[in-house]
Structure 1
């Protein structure tokens, strides 16, 4: 299949709806290989609590009205008071409700205890507006866990003995399963070698094998002898030729859980359209699990509306908008919805951007899987897709935007090289320039059911110019794993009926989308 996927009709579809209405998967070989053993992975584990779970409604425990001048200390004190409350049976301490009006905030607001929600009275111009007034680059709201790393038990590290663990697989063999048990959290570490660097020709851009060890959090489902079966699929190949990998028990600590930011409008003060000394990120989640950001509109920030960072997993961002960012238009700016630093199993859906550069984007070595679903971008200044250095397991599902690309970025930036692997553009639409799909050796990127002005790149293509069935791969995978109720839990009626780009474009982050 290497190099041949660009012509539709020369191969069987990799995933399609079968006679019984369920998905049928066909295997494929990665670029430069001839072993047809890989399958498109199940992305449906992305989202709050692993997908298919409704976002909760925490009870209000405290309320504030705005006052003239800086409100930061008042709001932080109120957050701190909620943080001191005992959690209920669902893990919630409660919500702080900000009544409608303008709150000037001179600095960062922090949520540092699990079970705390910051809620406003709407993301429209008449809702609760937090205005970042500090004239330095800063984050306005931060949901912040503690600790670092994955709590890996290196003393019990298990060598993966399967010579080739394909994409989409959930099972493989290890040298010794002693001490492991079903339900246990583990980390699968991919350990690339110099052969991998050489085959990708990345040394010229400063890539070093030891810098590309990537850790994938998973859970053991079953054990049979030395064969391990995981709950969630592998989204990057582990093969002996490129250094293989190992599995380790893990016990991560310090993650913050059951926190949310919702129904707010965030704005940044700024000196002029290219100013950089003002609000930079609207909301950042760090070491966050089972958290969410919903119905938040951010205006004039230099970098992002929402950035998920530092091993943030199983979170949902929905019905959020990034409008009119203020900064110079070049590298490291205007990344409207950003995944970075070990982010995995996250869902970004029903979002809107205007004036961004990399609107739905990942940073380096993001492990995945992660999903962008039913999102819209206009007035774009650069491409949607993985940005640099081997992000894996990405699904861009029904994304409308300008340039949409997964490619070898070579010396761009600081030696970005191959931006992503196992990146799937499913039923996307590009209104500008081109849609580009390139595949690195030993991996695969896909464009399936996409429509655009120009098809570019020799990666894997199917059904160019015609949208595929099912409309949404993520939602179909979710339904087949958890049922129709799970899909209803995380979607709108319009979303279940078809494309919602017109609805999002008409909404533009002003008020509730349903209105």
Structure 2
């Protein structure tokens, strides 16, 4: 008995030692996380370093359905459909339109549910009314794309935007990126809750400052960007002539380059669609080894959508798979698989971000010769990719003509790259594609992080090879690098977006989007 008791005591001692060492190792791993010089977590609050002019990494937590941290609702089923012989598109469309004629109840009308099985569709299915959801029964519900090339599902309705009253001059000499306050010459015609458009002219002085007035391709001048850069915001508060808006600015406003200056204009919006989504189904196209200029099947497009979602959707062999235009949209747990690569030097974008407050969460892509994510011209975020994994010969690459406000957070691109770059004469003058972008705690094969004049791009706490390049088609000079902070060493907090969301709305907001604090 004494020998047995000794063995038991020894095993208990070893177990206690193992538990202690494991806890110690976990604490040591946490302690080894680096601190970013630009965003630090101190006493439970985020502290932001500013540039000499007051710019900072913005609060990205406003991205997503409902403005971030809002749970996607479960909408009551109204109709369940079963596959029929031949083209099923008309049957699905009729059911969607019928629900679209029902009255709204708490913002929703109801869901069309596809039973398990394959639904061949030779034309698009379109959701054009608010409060309508198309839901499958999991991966067993498949929209099988047939017929001529088309988009599988569209969520779209035209939006009318009308100015109200006169535009008012913005009087600030400089508004830093990440701020949410501006001053106008006379705020008496505005009130909290007004929707406004802030527009700054694209002047020759600014284009020259950006180095984008000398683009030439095949001996032809390329035009980088013209017109205006406009963002929509809602007034949160007014104090005298100082106006606070709901979402921070993704870009700066420098009066030295935008004479006669930025304008604040109240607008009235009508139309579009709200609270609409696609979920729990599969979209499959035949294999398409094509160039992007050839006809091809695409999966989903949104236009005029506010507060919408795409979640738990599996997509096979579509090209230019998902295009998102609208506001406050979540793309959650979407899987895209290509069994054959596209061909040609011009690459399709599996995720095209052309809206504001867009949130791509836990998405996966497997494919070659693609842009995993690309942004459109003049896009103003915030746009967030969180915990996405993209495998194959492809890139996350903001694509053209000055998008701003992108966060790539905790994403993995083992075979490709993350590029914040000047695309120069590519694509008829894409030029500087992105400003005020952040890669936070990412892992990629490589990074091309370039610094635009008068703006910043950051790669923070990320792992992968740093590249230096000249503008495309040039061998020299190498463009200035953007900020690399704690490169090769993950930083705390693990997720910038989730920490910002928790700080703004609390732990409940994390739970609403499928995360819990550890």
TM-score for both structures, normalised by structure 1 = 0.86
Contact 2:319 / 2:350 at 8 angstroms: preserved in 1?
no
**Alignment check: 8 A CA contact 1:409 1:418 kept:** yes
- The size of the alignment, in residue pairs, is 463
Corresponding residue for residue 419 of structure 1:
433
The alignment status of 1:392 with 2:404, answered yes or no, reads yes
The 5-angstrom pairing of residues 427-442 of structure 1 reads 427-430=441-444, 432=445, 434-442=446-454
CA contact (8 A) 1:360 1:372 kept: no
1:462 aligned partner: 485
Checking the alignment, whether the CA contact within 8 Å between 1:235 and 1:368 is kept in structure 2 is: yes
Aligned to 1:509: none
The answer for the alignment partner of 2:238 in structure 1 is 223
**8 Å contact from structure 1 (residues 122, 265) kept in 2:** yes
Q: Equivalent residues in 2 for 1:107-506 (5 A)?
A: 107-123=123-139, 127-136=140-149, 138-148=150-160, 150-153=161-164, 155-205=165-215, 211-243=226-258, 244-270=261-287, 279-304=296-321, 306-309=322-325, 312-324=326-338, 328-330=342-344, 333-340=347-354, 343-356=355-368, 357-381=370-394, 383-401=395-413, 402-430=416-444, 432=445, 434-454=446-466, 456=468, 458-493=481-516, 496-497=517-518
The question of 1:105 aligning with 2:121 is answered yes
Give how far 1:232 is off: 1.2
Offset of 1:419 from its aligned partner?
0.8
In structure 2, C-alpha distance between the alignment counterparts of 1:478 and 1:179, rounded to whole Å: 33
- The answer (yes or no) to whether the contact 1:194–1:209 under 8 Å persists in 2 is no
| Structure 1 position 332, deviation (Å) | 5.5
User: Are residues 163 and 400 of structure 1, via their aligned partners in 2, closer, same or farther at CA, if it must alter by over 3 Å?
Assistant: same
Secondary structure of the residue that 1:201 maps to in structure 2? coil
Task: Give a deviation string over 1:439-475, Cα, whole Å, max 9, x none.
Answer: 1111111111110033546111100001111111111
Query: Once the 2 structures are TM-superposed, how far is the Cα of residue 269 of structure 1 from its aligned partner?
Result: 2.5
**Higher strand residue share:** 2
Judge conservation of contact 1:351–1:375 (CA < 8 Å) in 2: yes
1:66 equivalent in structure 2 = 83
Based on CA coordinates, which of the two structures has the bigger radius of gyration? 2
Gaps of at least 5 residues in structure 1 are 1-10, 29-34, 498-515
Alpha-carbon separation, structure 1, partners of 2:346 and 2:224? 24
In structure 2, list runs of 5 or more residues that go unmatched.
1-34, 216-220, 469-479
Q: 1: distance between equivalents of 2:109 and 2:421?
A: 45
Shift in CA distance, 256/326, structure 1 to aligned 2, threshold 3 Å = farther
In 1, Cα distance between the equivalents of 2:91 and 2:83?
A: 9
Change in 2 beyond 3 A, CA 1:325/1:344: farther
Q: TM-score normalized by structure 2?
A: 0.86
Secondary structure class of the residue paired with 1:466: coil
Secondary structure at 1:81's aligned position in 2? Answer: helix
